[in-house]
Amino acid sequence: MLVGIGLMPHGNPVLMPEDEETKRLAEVLRDIGKAFADVDSYVLISPHNVRMSDHIGVVMAEHLISWLGFEGVELPGEWETDRGLAEGIYEATKDRFPVVDLHFASRSGRYSRWPLTWGELIPLQFLEKKPLVLLTPARSLSREALIGFGKALGGVIEESEKKVALVISADHGHAHDENGPYGYRKESEEYDRLIMRLINENRLEELPEIQDELIRNALPDSYWQMLIMLGAMHRVEVELVESAYACPTYFGMAGALWVRKP
């Protein structure tokens, strides 16, 4: 059963927030952790793990190991994969969508290990340690395919006897600062404003209508996993509890919590 969805950033500033907007964002992330404290497992979709242009990845490795932080911030730890749920997601989607199962070193046992990056580690800092399934989106897939995969994913979660939370790791426009690595582009601000408007006004059904040019110029790493999220929302009715946005550096960050409607 899908109990809720959390949209969570993966930028270092939320770990030690300095400005008021980022502090508020961190509060929302802590609230997401509280809301999901009683779940059995997470399904975490991250854009900063395996990067495949045209296939969605389902990580099957048993042990998930902290490996790569961002800008020198290390977040050690080890998590376990919910193999039963991972296998259920893979089997239910492999014949309908370009999905691959991912292993490393060994298919099971102590050497079945997989590295985690800041894309997973930063959201996990706000969540109680639980088994999880790590999924990776694919940017070259059509919007219809990503939404369709999300619907299938939501169906698998709904059929599970476990209480599961869907976690979307996402930062938004990456060109907010002319001194940042990508310079300044007005589209980053436009994209971020639009995303927050769609979230806060319950208009996420308009996500597929966002123009390619805006996405390309805004430089987000959120759009594709949010389409999967939208698909899952088609299977379970959820309501927005709270949201927040901050942009203390060159990229925009957002947090949002949706819970299952009673």
Per-residue pLDDT tens for 82-91? 999 999 999 9
Residue 228 lies in a domain: yes
- Domain membership flag for residue 252: no
In this structure, the answer to whether residues 41 and 153 fall within a common structural domain is: yes
| Tokens found for residue 131 | 């088994």
- Do 236 and 213 lie in a common domain? no
Mean pLDDT of the chain: 98
Q: Are residues 11 and 116 in the same domain?
A: yes
Residues 72 and 24 in one domain: yes
By residue range, what is the domain housing residue 210?
185-220
Shared-domain flag, residues 233 and 213:
no
Same domain, 83 and 211: no
Residue 150: which CATH number?
3.40.830.10
Total structural domains in the chain? 2
112 assigned to some structural domain: yes
> How much is the pTM?
0.98
d(CA 28, CA 123) in angstroms, rounded, equals 12
The reply to whether 35 and 67 lie within a common domain is yes
Cα–Cα distance, 113 to 129 (Å, whole number): 17
Residues 124 and 236 grouped into a single domain: yes
Residue 262 forms part of a structural domain:
no
The Cα angle at residue 77 between residues 71 and 83, in degrees rounded to 5: 120
Q: Fill in the amino acid letter for 142.
A: S
pLDDT in tens, 128-171: 999 999 999 999 999 999 999 999 999 999 999 999 999 999 99
Joined tokens for residue 190? 């436009």
Q: Do the Cβ atoms of 138 and 56 come closer than 8 Å?
A: yes
pLDDT tens figures, 46-98? 999 999 999 999 999 999 999 999 999 999 999 999 999 999 999 999 999 99
